Amino acid sequence: MSQLERVIRRARAVAWIYATRARASNGRRWRAAPLIKWARRRVSVSSFSLRSPAGAPPGPRRPSPGP
């Protein structure tokens, strides 16, 4: 398993844990948008910094340009 896959998996796990915990405590009206945005930014930034010089296949989601 590559380092990038590990980072993505960890980010997904963290996002899932936070989402389920918040949903359990705050009910269905809790909005996950900020957390998802943060996790996506983390994944895109790490995919930029960990891209291997050999040319890894591009992920399913292109990193969006920053603000």
pLDDT for 6-37, tens place per residue?
999 998 988 888 777 766 666 555 556 666 77
> So where are the chain's domains?
3-49
pTM over 0.85: no
SS3 of the chain: CCHHHHHHHHHHHHHHHHHHHHHHHHCCCCCCHHHHHHHHHHHHHHHHHCCCCCCCCCCCCCCCCCC
pLDDT of residue 9: 92
Question: Residue 41: which pLDDT band, with cuts at 50, 70 and 90?
Answer: confident
